[in-house]
Structure 1
Amino acid sequence: MYVGIDLGTSGVKAVLIDEDGVLVGEATAPLTVSRPHPLWSEQDPEAWWQATGAAVIRLGATHSLDAVKGIGLSGQMHGAVLLDEGGHVLRPAILWNDGRAGAECAELEQREPASRAITANMAMPGFTAPKLLWVAKHEPDIFARTARVLLPKDWIRLRLTGEAVSEPSDAAGTLWLDVEKRDWSPAMLAATGLDERHMPRLVEGTEVSGRLTREAAGALGLRPGLPVAGGGGDNAAGAVGIGVVRTGMAFLSLGTSGVIFVADATLRKDPERGVHAFCHCVPDMWHRMAVILSAASALSFAARLVGAASEAELLSDIESAGIQAPKHSRLVFLPYLSGERTPHNDPTATGVVFGLDASASRADLGRAVLEGVAFALADGLHALEAGGGRIETFSVIGGGARSKLWGRILAAALERPLKYHHGGEVGPALGAARLARIATSGASLDEACPPPPLSHVVEPEAALVDALKSRQILYRRLYADLRSTFPASIR
C-alpha cells in the first residue's frame, strides 16, 4: 500500500492505493483561507499539519495502514513559509493566489534582467520570489530572521521527516529555479537577497526525500521509518495521477484554480503570453500550463452568494432551468475573484457580473459562472496553442470533474472533446501515491502511471458552441474595457 497526501487550499486529501495502483480509499479534512487585506491570501501552516493528521487518521479509520510502504506528497504551489534558525514559522504563509506583490514583480525583473531566460516564466505576484521582496520591504524584521523558505508541501515534509527538501516541479514555481538545469539559480536568489543556504535541497519527485520520524508516525497512525517520496506540485502530481507523463499529453484541472497542462520532453518557454513553463515531477520532463486563479472556487462563491445549500444544489438548479441561456441574455461573469494569470497577469482584476436584469434567477447566475470559468480557460488554451500548436483533447481532473453539466459547457467553450476517467476527481493525491510507489518499489513510470480507466467522453455540442459565441465575445470585451479600472478601484 502507498499513501498520497495532497495539501490543497480548501482541504487536505489523503488516499491509499494498493501494489497494483488501484485506489483503495480516500479521506479529507477542510482548511480555510484568511484574507486580512485586499489582494492578501494567507493560511497558518499549523492548520495544514492538523488537517494532514486528521485526513490520514480518517483514512486509517476505514482502511488498515499496516501494509503502507511509502508516502508521497503533493500540494498547492508558490506559497511562502518563512522559518527562523530554530525552524519556527515566522508569519502566516503567503499563498499562491495572493496578489500583494505586483510592484515587486517589476522590481525583481529589473534586478535580474535575465529572469525570464533563467526561470522560463514572467514574474507574477503569486510566485514565491516576489513575496520575499514584499516581506523585505514591508516586514524587514521578519525578513532578517528568515533562515529558510519552504513551499507548503515541503513544510509538511519537514514535519514528517525533519528534512528540508523540495523537488523541481514545485521549485520551478518560485522564480528561484533555473528551470532548464533543474537546480537553484544563484542569480535569482541574489536578486531577492537570499542564497542557497535559505533553500531546501532538491531531489526528483520519484526519489526518496526522507523517512517518517517516530513523532510524526505517532501523530498519523503510521509506522516510523516509512520513506517519503519527493512528490510534486499539485498540477504536476495531478498529471501523474491521470497518466499525463509523455510529450503532448494534456489535462484540464477544475480545482480551486483552473489549469490546462501539457507535458513536454523539452523545456518550451513562452513567458510573454503568461504561459507557465515548469519542470515535471518525473525526471527529464517539463510542462507548460495556462492557469486561472478561480475555477471550482468560483462555483463555491456563487452557491454562497445566491444562498444555495451546496454547489450540488446550485448545479441541480441550473440543469433544471436548462443549460442554454435565453437568446436575449447578456449575463456574463468574469471569474477573477483572486486576480488572474494566463493570459492577463493581472492581480488587480476582480470578479464581475454583467448583464443583470429583473428576470435573472439564481440558476441564470450559476450558469453564467460556469460559462465564465470556461471562457477564462478558453483564453488560456488560446495562449498555450499560440506558442505550441493545437491540443486535440484533454483529460479532466479535480473536484469540478464531478459535474457533467460543466463538462458540456467546457467542451463547447473550448471546442474540444473532454475525457473523464474513473477516480479523476482525486487528482494530485493519487499522483502523490503513485510517486511513492515509484520511489519505494522501483516500478517504472509506465507501470505506475497509466491513465485511469475511461468513464466517458464529452464532445462539443454544435448548438451549445453557437449559443456561447456571443457571450464569449462580450466576456473578452468586458475585460479589455475594465482593465484600467481594476487597479483604480483598490483602496
Structure 2
Amino acid sequence: MYLGLDLGTSGLKGVLIDADQRVLAEAHAPLKVSRPHEGWSEQSPAAWIGAAEAVLGVLARHGLGQVRGIGLSGQMHGAVLLDAACDVLRPCILWNDTRAHAEAAAMDADPRFRAISGNIVFPGFTAPKLAWVARHEPEIFARTDHVLLPKDYLRLWMTGAHVCDMSDAAGTSWFDTGARDWSEALLAAGGMTRAQMPALVEGSAVSGLLRRELADRFGLPAGVPVAGGGGDNAASAVGAGVVAPGQGFVSLGTSGVLFAADEGCRPSPETAVHSFCHALPGRWHQMGVILAATDALNWLAGLLGRPPADLTVALGGALRPPGRGLFLPYLGGERTPLNDAAIRGAFLGLEHETGAEAATRAVLEGVAFALADCRDALAATGTRLDHLIALGGGARSDYWLKVLATTLDLPLLVPQAGDFGAAFGAARLGLMAATGSGAEIATPPPIAREIAPDPALRAAFAEGHVRYRAARDAMKGLS
C-alpha cells in the first residue's frame, strides 16, 4: 500500500492506494484560513499537524501496516518560518496573501529574478513574503533559521528532515528553474542564504524515512520512505497522468489552473504564465493561474445563504448563452495575465431581473472567461492543448464544465468517479520512491465522458469573453 497526503488550503486529504493504484480508502480534515487584515491570508502550521493526525487516525482503521511508501503534496508558496530549534515563529503566510505586493514589485524590477527564476515575482510567492517580514517584523526575520513550504513542514514532522522538491521550490522566486537548484544570486538579493533553504530532491525520490514515534502511533512500518512529493498542481498532474508535452488539465479548485506539461523549461514571464519544474525528473510545466475559482462561487453562496451545489444544480442541464451580467472574479487580486494584487472583483450589468440564477451564471462565466485569459497567455508562449482533463471540486458541475468547454473551445475529459488529484498523485510519487518506478506509472485516469464545446454557442461565449476583457481592462485602470 502507498499513502498520499495533500495539504490544501481548506483541508488536508489522505488517500491510500494498493500496488495496482486502486484507491482503498480516503480521509479528510478541514482547515480554516485566518484573514486578520485586508489582503492577508494565514494558517497555523500546528493546525496542519492536527489535520494530519486526524487523517492518519481515520486511515489507521483500515490498517497501515502494509504501507511501503508515502508521498506529500500541498499548497504552494507559503512561508513557514522556523528558528534554530525548529519552532514556528509566526503563522504561515499563504499563497493567496497579497501583503507583499510592494516587495514583490521591487524584486521584479531586478531583471535577475525573471531571467533566473523564469517567472514574474508575484506577491503570493515566498521570497517577497520574507522581504515583508524583514521590513515589518525584523525581530522574527532575525530569528529565522529555516524557511519551509507548507507540505515540507509536514515532512519535518514526519521525518525530521528539512527537504523540498523541485516543483514546489520553483514557486519561491529563489530558484533557478532551468538548473533545478537554488540560485545563490536570487537568495542573496532577497537577503537569504542557502543554509536557510531545505535540501532538494526530485518529487519521485526518497526525501527521508518515517520517524518511529509516528510509525508506532498510527500502525505504520518504521522507516517507510517519504517521497519528495510535489506542489499541489504538479502532484495533480502526476495523478491525472499529465506528464508529457501536449497533455494538460484545468482545475476548478479554490483557485483555477490551466496546466500544460513540457519536457523543457520555456519561461515566458512577460505573459504572467508560471513556468515551474514538474514533480518528475527532467520535466517542466507551464500554468495560467487565477486566484478565485470555486472560491468565487463559495463567496456568492455565502452571500445568498445557499449551498454552492444548490446554486449550480438550479441552472439545469441545458447551456445558455452568457447573460447581460458580468462578473470579474478578482476577490483578492489576480495572477495570469494581470499580475495585479490591487485589482478587485465586480458585478457589472446588474438589473432588476438579476436574481440568484443570473448571478450564479455570471460567476461561472466570469471564472471561465478568466481561464480563457490563461489559455490565451499559454498560447502566446507557443503551448498547444488539444484537450483538457477536468479536475477539482468545481468539475462536479456539468453546467460549469459546459461553460468552460465552450469558452475555451476545447473538449474536457471528465474522469470516472474517484480521486485523481493531488492526494492520488502524492501516493503515486510515494510508490515511485519506494519501488524505483518512473513516469510510466503516471497514466491518465479512465475517462467517463467528454464534454465538447457547444458549436451553436461558441460565438456567443467568444463575444462574452470580449466584453469581459473590456470590463477587466477598465477595472484594472481603477486599481
- Alignment TM-score > 0.5, same fold: yes
Quickly say closer, same or farther: Cα 1:374–1:276, change in 2 above 3 A: same
Correspondence 1:438 to 2:435: no
Tell me the TM-score normalized by structure 1.
0.95
> Is the Cα–Cα contact under 8 Å of residues 240 and 420 in structure 2 kept in the other structure?
no
Query: Which whole-Å deviations, capped at 9, do the CAs of 1:113-141 have from their partners, x for residues lacking one?
Result: 31111100011101100111111011111
Aligned twin of 1:36: 36
Q: AA paired with 2:240? A: I
Question: For the structure 1 residues 424 and 396, does the alpha-carbon distance in structure 2 shift closer, same or farther, using more than 3 Å as the test?
Answer: farther
Give the corresponding residue for 2:404: 410
1:161-176 alignment to 2 at 5 Å? 161-176=159-174
**What SS does structure 1 have at the residue aligned with 2:315?**
helix
Following TM superposition, the consecutive aligned residue runs of length 4 or more in structure 1 with deviations greater than 6 angstroms are none
Partner of 1:319: 316
In the other structure, the counterpart of 2:59 is 59
- What is the CA-CA distance between 1:35 and the residue it aligns to? 0.9
**Paired residue for 1:395?**
389
Give the match for residue 185 of structure 1: 183
Equivalent AA in structure 1 for residue 147 of structure 2: V
Q: Are residue 107 (structure 1) and residue 100 (structure 2) matched?
A: no
Q: CA deviation at 1:275?
A: 0.6
Distance 1:106 1:442 in 2: 42
- Structure 1 position 221, deviation (Å): 4.3
- Change over 3 Å in CA distance of 1:390–1:18 after alignment to 2: same
2 CA distance for matches of 1:154 and 1:105?
A: 23
Distance 1:135 1:367 in 2: 40
Provide the C-alpha distance between the structure 2 equivalents of 1:250 and 1:285, rounded to a whole number of angstroms: 14
Q: Deviations over 1:205-231 (max 9, x none)?
A: 111111111233345443332110000
1-structure distance, mates of 2:333, 2:264? 30
Match of 1:489? none
Cα deviations by residue, 1:79-135 (Å, 9 ceiling, x for unpaired): 00000011010011001011111111122234x431111100011101100111111
Aligned residue-pair number: 479
Give 1:8 shift: 0.3
Q: In structure 1, what residue type is equivalent to 2:308? A: E
Q: Distance in 2 between matches of 1:2 and 1:475?
A: 45
Q: Which moved more, 1:182-191 or 1:330-339?
A: 330-339
| Kept in 2: contact 1:398–1:425 (CA 8 A) | no
Distance 1:481 1:15, change over 3 A: same
What is the letter of the counterpart of residue 355 of structure 2? Answer: S
Question: Partner residue of 1:150?
Answer: 148
Identity score, percent: 53
- The TM-score with structure 2 as length reference comes to 0.97
Output aligned runs, 1:10-409, within 5 Å: 10-61=10-61, 63-110=62-109, 112-308=110-306, 310-319=307-316, 323-324=319-320, 329-409=323-403
Deviation of 1:379 after TM superposition, in Å, equals: 0.3
For the 8 Å contact 1:398–1:424, the answer to whether it is kept is no
Structure 2 CA distance, aligned partners of 1:219 and 1:402? 36
Q: Provide the secondary structure at the position in 2 that maps to 1:319.
A: coil
Moved more, 245-254 or 72-81: 245-254
The answer for unaligned runs of 5 or more in structure 1 is 487-491
Aligned ranges 1:420-459 → 2 under 5 Å: 420-423=414-417, 425-446=419-440, 448-459=441-452
Look up the equivalent residue of 1:347 and give its one-letter code: A
Q: Quick check: 1:417–1:459 contact (8 Å CA) kept in 2?
A: yes
Secondary structure of 1:483's partner? helix
Question: Residue 119 of structure 1 contacts residue 178 of structure 1 at CA under 8 Å; is this kept in 2?
Answer: yes
1:348 offset after TM fit, Å?
1.0
Contact 1:318 1:364 in 2 (8 A): no
Counterpart contact for 1:214–1:225, Cα < 8 Å:
yes
Letter in 2 for 1:324: R
